[in-house]
Amino acid sequence: MKKYITLKKDFNVKLNSKITKHSNPKYIYLPIPKEDKIHSSIEVKKEEKLSDFLISPVSGKIVGMKYCQMPNGNVEKCLTILNDYKESMMERKAVRKNIAKISKEEMLNELKDYHLEHIAFKIEKNDPNGPLILNGIEDEPYVANEIFVGKEYTSLILETFDAIREILSCQIARIIVKSSDRENIEAYTNLLGTYPNIELVIVPDYYLLGEETYIKEYLHLPDSSIMLRPSEVYQMNNTMKRKRHTLDQIFTISGDGIENPQVIEAKIGSAVIDIIKEHIKKKKDQKTVCYINGLMKGQIMDPETLIVTPDLTSILFMKETNLQEEECINCGKCYTVCPKGCNPRAFLETKKTKTIKNCIDCGLCSYICPSFINLRQRMKGDQNE
Ligand code: SF4
Ligand code: SF4
């Protein structure tokens, strides 16, 4: 990437200082993957395997099916579970005292058994000896999931990250945070004395450094570095130490259209509309637009039938503006800013996909356009036609 950009933010939008827990939803909706067969009875326990892919986050009763919206915009058929609030669990396995003592194979097998194949894959495809990196950066404006996981679970994250380092025989591990993330800098600095093999690296507040490719390029890290996120290390702790599935998802509800932005931890399968009704206060007489999964990379969506899934990262209620798209003034900013050398303006004129063939959907071209042209959305729309 040639140029680094700091995105503008409204500093009046402030998050509550703690993660809000939403742990007792009345209903849970779990999307049923194609070809997946439910092999459970009507009564289900918390953490029961309902099919090859589905784990119940609550105990209760299967009461039917319902179509719900996913964060990617797809509508899928979901199994509906009525929560009995008894939290009846499947048989508990003993907590492992020292996770650093397990072998790499054991760790990878456990990650796969607990549906964390994507993390096992990251570790397997890279150099087993590291360097090992914990990337705690959030790129999207107003979103703070990784930042909150870091500051709320600092000790757990450090203990688990250091154990992973030992299991993988990495000499040095690094934690990366942005210079604007003062709370995590303080939290990690206070505890790092106990972890001589972990270094803290502070980087400027540039967009895209949360992405693996760009942070590697910015810090000149080898391609083979193993890059984890705080939320992934938290999930690995669940698996390796507590031998449990991760049944909750952490995401941000924020924006300048609400009074009380906050980071939420909710059961996977919860209805987003119930979470909004219970925890969020909209600004009076303020029309808003709802963005799912970020202003830069997400999409506008009505959250009415949206459910919490492992890929939900944010719900942003932004004030509706009257900014009208204007004629392109041929300023060249969209292709100058593009980190992948694409030419969105040329694509709009010619529809030739080679002009945007390396597009990573980062949204910078739309962000920078002085004529308010939503280039990213137009490119996606035209490509899908
Ligand atoms: S969305 Fe695509 S075309 Fe636009 S700046 Fe990002 S990579 Fe370039
Ligand atoms: S940034 Fe906007 S106005 Fe400038 S060339 Fe690109 S599309 Fe045209």
- Contacting residues for 202 by C-beta, under 8 A, at least 6 apart: 176, 177, 178, 179, 185
Asked, for residue 3, whether it belongs to a domain, the answer is: no
Asked, for residue 326, whether it belongs to a domain, the answer is: no
Domain that holds residue 76: 20-90+245-319
Tell me which residue of 283, 10, 271, 263 sits closest to 141, measured CA to CA: 10
Per-residue model confidence as pLDDT tens digits over 122-148: 999 877 666 899 999 999 999 999 999
Last residue of a domain, one of 209, 240, 271: 240
Last residue of a domain, one of 319, 353, 375: 319
User: Quick check: CB of 369 below 6 Å from ligand 2?
Assistant: yes
Asked, for residue 296, whether it belongs to a domain, the answer is: yes
Task: Return the best residue to mutate from 207, 361, 373, 378 for the ligand 1 pocket (most ligand atoms within 8 A of CB).
Answer: 361
Query: Same domain for 193 and 132?
Result: yes
Query: Same domain for 229 and 268?
Result: no
Give 308's pLDDT tier (boundaries 50, 70, 90).
Answer: very high
Query: Same domain for 141 and 209?
Result: yes
Give 385's pLDDT tier (boundaries 50, 70, 90).
Answer: very low
Check whether 384 has a pLDDT greater than 70. Answer: no
Backbone phi and psi for residue 200, each to the nearest 5 degrees, phi listed first = -100, 130
Tell me which residue of 247, 296, 309 sits closest to 29, measured CA to CA: 309
Query: Same domain for 367 and 337?
Result: yes
Query: Same domain for 249 and 306?
Result: yes
Query: Same domain for 221 and 135?
Result: yes
Backbone phi and psi for residue 365, each to the nearest 5 degrees, phi listed first = -65, -40
Task: Return the best residue to mutate from 1, 347, 359, 367 for the ligand 1 pocket (most ligand atoms within 8 A of CB).
Answer: 359
Query: Same domain for 77 and 206?
Result: no
Query: Same domain for 58 and 117?
Result: no
Asked, for residue 4, whether it belongs to a domain, the answer is: no
Query: Same domain for 232 and 150?
Result: yes
Residue type, 228: L
82 alpha carbon – ligand 2 mean position (Å): 51
Question: Which residue has a Cα nearest atom 8 of ligand 2?
Answer: 328
Residue 191 to residue 10: CA distance in whole angstroms: 31
Last residue of a domain, one of 240, 258, 273: 240
- Overall number of domains in the chain: 3
Query: Same domain for 313 and 351?
Result: no
Model pLDDT, residue 145: 98
Check whether 11 has a pLDDT greater than 60. Answer: yes
Task: Return the best residue to mutate from 329, 337, 366 for the ligand 2 pocket (most ligand atoms within 8 A of CB).
Answer: 329
CB atoms within 10 A of CB 88: 14
Model pLDDT, residue 383: 54
Residue, of 39 and 238, whose pLDDT is higher: 238
- Contacting residues for 141 by C-beta, under 8 A, at least 6 apart: 7, 8, 9, 295, 296
CB 150 within 8 A of CB 112: no
Check whether 189 has a pLDDT greater than 80. Answer: yes
Asked, for residue 8, whether it belongs to a domain, the answer is: no
Asked, for residue 260, whether it belongs to a domain, the answer is: yes
Asked, for residue 10, whether it belongs to a domain, the answer is: no
Round the average pLDDT of the chain to a whole number and report it: 93
Per-residue model confidence as pLDDT tens digits over 257-268: 999 999 999 999
Query: Same domain for 79 and 109?
Result: no
Question: Which residue has a Cα nearest atom 6 of ligand 1?
Answer: 362
Query: Same domain for 186 and 308?
Result: no
